[in-house]
Amino acid sequence: MTDDTPFDLQDFLPYLLNQAAEMSSLDFQRYYKARYGMLRTEWRVVFHLGHYGDMTAKEICIRARIHKTKVSRAVSALEKRRFLTRTPLPDDRRHETLKLTAAGRAAFRDLYRAAQDFEANLTAPFTDEEVATLRRCLVKIAKF
Amino acid sequence: MTDDTPFDLQDFLPYLLNQAAEMSSLDFQRYYKARYGMLRTEWRVVFHLGHYGDMTAKEICIRARIHKTKVSRAVSALEKRRFLTRTPLPDDRRHETLKLTAAGRAAFRDLYRAAQDFEANLTAPFTDEEVATLRRCLVKIAKF
DNA sequence: TATTGTTATACTCTATAACTATA
DNA sequence: TATAGTTATAGAGTATAACAATA
């Protein structure tokens, strides 16, 4: 975009990204909220435990790029609703291993499948190459 | 993505879009907040008035996809800080023409230029074709 | 009755500082 | 002192219902 090219708000990438992000997550958000009463961070925590196995809150913070205060609240809410349990580590009692319960694992499996379906729907209008380019750009912009 | 392909949270488009949207807007958000004390919706309202000329709140709602309650609050804040004025239309006094003041126009020009710079920075790592593909995908996902 | 815009309210998300407990 | 995690708080974003004024 040169200095002389006027542009619409839709041409401004941060706006476009924001709109795409909102639209893309609406349906899935409704799904995990309606079925499991989960918020975004809670779904992300469940995802990490379900996908990578038991870990501490700290590890989730690093892997999922979520601040410790958010993880703390999410873990607390998930524990209250019996989606996970905490077990303090004997060698360092500041750490707790977080572990999905049977209900947590069931929710993960369902949400994981739902996520795959939503993903397939989102990418359906595009060619494999387009999707690859999209991902490559997003990864770079998101600074992963 | 097929049923058997395991995927990371970074591979889930809504998450990736969300992270990219957040990262991409951070710097610009800080800029209009620090310089003009504006919030996101306020910047968008200023953009529309500066770029397309005077219009009513309703028109901004439609063009910028913002709910009337958000526009109402943004307009009120912008008026209070003398970035715009309102003039009721004589033929239908439910409408008001919104018009940037000199300060509003100056802010728009500065922010417009800043937006162009941020945009150029964001797209710098990519080829024109990659950016074109990125935009095309985002426009479709955002349902524009 | 319908439309433009405002107000109230609640929920979600983000960010930061201050704190507890443990090491 | 440093680290893991919690609590408190404020700001910002989103969504919806109820309302006033005008048509």
Inter-chain CB proximity A139 and B10 less than 8 Å: yes
pLDDT digits (tens, 9 = 90+) for A31-81: 999 999 999 999 999 999 999 999 999 999 999 999 999 999 999 999 999
Query: What pLDDT is recorded for position B2?
Result: 44
Long-range contacts of A59-68 (CB under 8 A, 24+ apart): A60/A98, A64/B9, A65/B19, A66/A41
Query: What pLDDT is recorded for position B7?
Result: 79
Place B88 in a pLDDT band, splitting at 50, 70 and 90: very high
A36 CA – D1 C1', rounded, Å: 42
Q: Could you check: is the Cβ of residue B29 within 7 Å of any atom of nucleic acid strand C?
A: no
Q: What is the mean pLDDT of residues B65-80?
A: 98
Do the bridges between strand A96-100 and strand A84-88 make them parallel or antiparallel, or are there none, so unpaired?
Answer: antiparallel
Percentage of the residues of chain B whose pLDDT score is greater than 70: 96
Is the pLDDT assigned to residue A6 strictly greater than 80? no
pLDDT digits (tens, 9 = 90+) for B93-105: 999 999 999 999 9
How many other C-beta atoms lie within 10 A of the C-beta of residue B76? 12
Which amino acid is residue B124, in one-letter code?
A: A
Which residue, B55, B68, B38, B43, is CA-closest to A18? B43
- The count of C-alpha atoms lying within 13 angstroms of the C-alpha of B88, restricted to the half-sphere facing its C-beta, is 5
- Residue A54 DSSP one-character state: S
Which residue, A100, B76, A66, B19, is CA-closest to B11? B19
Question: How far, in Å, CA of A64 to CA of A142, rounded?
Answer: 13
Task: For residue A17, give the nearest of B51, B126, B138 by CB distance.
Answer: B138
Query: What pLDDT is recorded for position A7?
Result: 79
Query: Which nucleotide is nearest, taking the CA of residue B90 and each C1'?
Result: D22
Looking at the DSSP assignment, which residues form a beta bridge with residue B34?
Answer: none
Looking at the DSSP assignment, which residues form a beta bridge with residue B72?
Answer: none
pLDDT digits (tens, 9 = 90+) for B20-41: 999 999 999 999 999 999 999 9
- Kindly report which amino acid residue has its CA closest to the C1' atom of nucleotide D22: B94
Inter-chain CB proximity A21 and B21 less than 8 Å: yes
* Averaged confidence pLDDT in chain B: 95
Inter-chain CB proximity B116 and A140 less than 8 Å: no
Q: Which fold has domain B23-143?
A: Arc Repressor Mutant, subunit A (1.10.10)
Burial (CB count within 10 angstroms: exposed 0-12, middle 13-18, buried 19+), residue A127? exposed
Is the pLDDT assigned to residue B1 strictly greater than 80? no
Q: Which two tokens stand for residue B21?
A: 């949207």
